[in-house]
Structure 1
Amino acid sequence: MANQRQTLTNERAYSRTDFTALRAFVQRVPTATIARLYFTEDEDGHEPTAAWVEAYLRRMEAVLVELALEHGSPVLADHLKASAKAHGSARLTAVSLKMV
């Protein structure tokens, strides 16, 4: 499997590296470390900042949670709804990320 982007919705596409970075984020690896390990500089030569990485991964997490609630298994949907009730928003854990 190459690191090719997978289109999840009409607008979003994520690579295997993106999913690996999200897994590290869910496991509470510091975003500065994630930026250094998984992201490269952009076309203009700018390195990704920890703040940019955190925002990107939070958006990715929100998209995946939304898709899981709409199309996922009832067990996963119930888990995410309970997480949203407890935390104010549904949060992925290492286990729920595997389920997604």
Structure 2
Amino acid sequence: MANYSELMAQAQALMAQAEQARKSELASVVAEIKAKMKQFGITVADLGGAGTKGAAKSKSKAPAKYKGPNGELWAGGPGRKPEWVRAVLASGKNIEDFRI
């Protein structure tokens, strides 16, 4: 039976592998979407994306509460956590150790 540190190493390796697969699939999906947009003459504005009136801003104006091991900043708000935060949590560390 594997011990805790072995299981955590396996989990981290699987998370890295899953992230690589996601990036690979994402690239092909984006290429397909761009091709369809070109084929049908669809613009980002047609989709209600950036550049349209009333579009949501993509970056938070909240001050950073956490600083990652490589200097990354995060406000700690709702939504998807940055990759460095997920890696810290997956390794068993406490995010509060990175509070500014």
TM-score range, shorter chain: under 0.3
- Bigger radius of gyration among the two: 2
